[in-house]
Structures are given as C-alpha cells and as structure tokens.
Structure 1
Amino acid sequence: MSKLSENDIEKRLLHLPDWDYYDNAIHAEFEFDNFKDCFSAMSRIAFECEALNHHPNWSNVYNVLTISITTHDANGLTNKDFKLAEAIDTIVEPEE
C-alpha cells in the first residue's frame, strides 16, 4: 500500500466529517446512549476489521468509543485506512 499525500487525505476527509487528521492517523470519537450500545458497535466493527485485515487503535470508556486508524507499514495513511473509516461510519451511523 502506498502512503497518501496530504492533499489526498484532505480530499477524502471531506466525505468523513466525524474524522480528524493528525499525528499520521485519522481519529474519531463516537458517543452512544449506553455501554451496551457502544460495545455492540465495537463488536460489529471488529468483524469488519477482520474482514479487511486492518485493525485500529481504539479505547472505550462507558459509552464513548475513541478510534485512531493508520497504516503502520506505510508510516501514514493509505486507502485501507479510509476504507475502514467508511465501514465504521456505516456501522455507528446507519442510514435510515
């Protein structure tokens, strides 16, 4: 995977308003109604991570899930990172 340019990253972030770029990674924080809903989303995200063979750094405190995504092998962001972020957005904010 090739590392994306700063310009490419900025363009892709326009489609991911919940995500911020800093420290060579994209970051988001999601708040749920309660711990159970947060943990349920984490479980669904885990299956997507396995399917993509790409795993985020994340933490959970009660109803808040904090996620950072980067491609360590590329020392920055790649297409894989944005594909995972899009999948996460679909899971945590399903369209109605």
Structure 2
Amino acid sequence: MATPLSEDKIAKALSDLDGWSHEDDKLKKDFSFDNFRDAIAFINRIAFEAEEQVHHPELFNVYNSVSIALSTHDAGGKVTEKDLKLAKTIESLYNA
C-alpha cells in the first residue's frame, strides 16, 4: 500500500509544479490547447506514460481543454509520491 504524503511535503512539491494545486485530496491542473486534436494528442501521450508507471489519472476533456486530477487509490485516494512523479511526467509532456 502506498503512503499518503503530508501537507508540508505536498506544498513543497507544488512549488516545483507550476499551476498545480492540491484540492479535495488530489493534485489538479487544467491545460489549454489550440484545438481539440492537440488536446486529445496530449491525453494519448499521458495514457502511454501512465500505463508505464501503472498509475492512471482522472482525465476530463472539453474541446481544447484537459483537466487532470491525481490521487492514489491504494492510499485511500490521497496524494502519494506516485502522483508527484506522474505530475512531473505530465508537465514534461506538455512542455515538450
């Protein structure tokens, strides 16, 4: 079972994750794109990385926007190191 992170650890990690927030026991961020195709391509890239990490985000898409929420099921729906790792990966995909 994964270990939930303390509020302090999450706050410190968020200082390195631009635009991410900690709400409702999840790491969250909204991303915007030029069009629907770019938004879906981003989701597809996330899917491959999430599968590699065996950690799957909540994804929500409307036209050119993608909203992401991360928490760890086997930690009672709390934020763990797995979520921080995936958030960093998602950032690298967005900034690529």
Q: Do the two structures share a fold, i.e. TM-score over 0.5?
A: yes
TM-score, length of structure 1 as denominator length: 0.95
Runs of at least 4 residues off by over 3 Å: none
Q: CA deviation at 1:41?
A: 0.7
* Unaligned residue ranges in structure 2 (runs of 5+): none
Matched, 1:40 2:55: no
Tell me the amino acid that sits aligned with residue 71 of structure 1. Answer: T
TM-score, length of structure 2 as denominator length: 0.95
Tell me how far apart the structure 2 counterparts of residues 36 and 92 of structure 1 sit (CA, whole Å).
14
Tell me the amino acid that sits aligned with residue 42 of structure 1. Answer: I
Q: CA deviation at 1:28?
A: 0.3
* Unaligned residue ranges in structure 1 (runs of 5+): none
Tell me how far apart the structure 1 counterparts of residues 38 and 53 of structure 2 sit (CA, whole Å).
23
Tell me how far apart the structure 2 counterparts of residues 28 and 87 of structure 1 sit (CA, whole Å).
13
Tell me how far apart the structure 2 counterparts of residues 61 and 33 of structure 1 sit (CA, whole Å).
12
Give the length in aligned residue pairs. Answer: 94
Give the equivalent residue in structure 1 for 2:53: 52
Q: Which of 76, 79, 96 is the aligned partner of 1:77?
A: 79
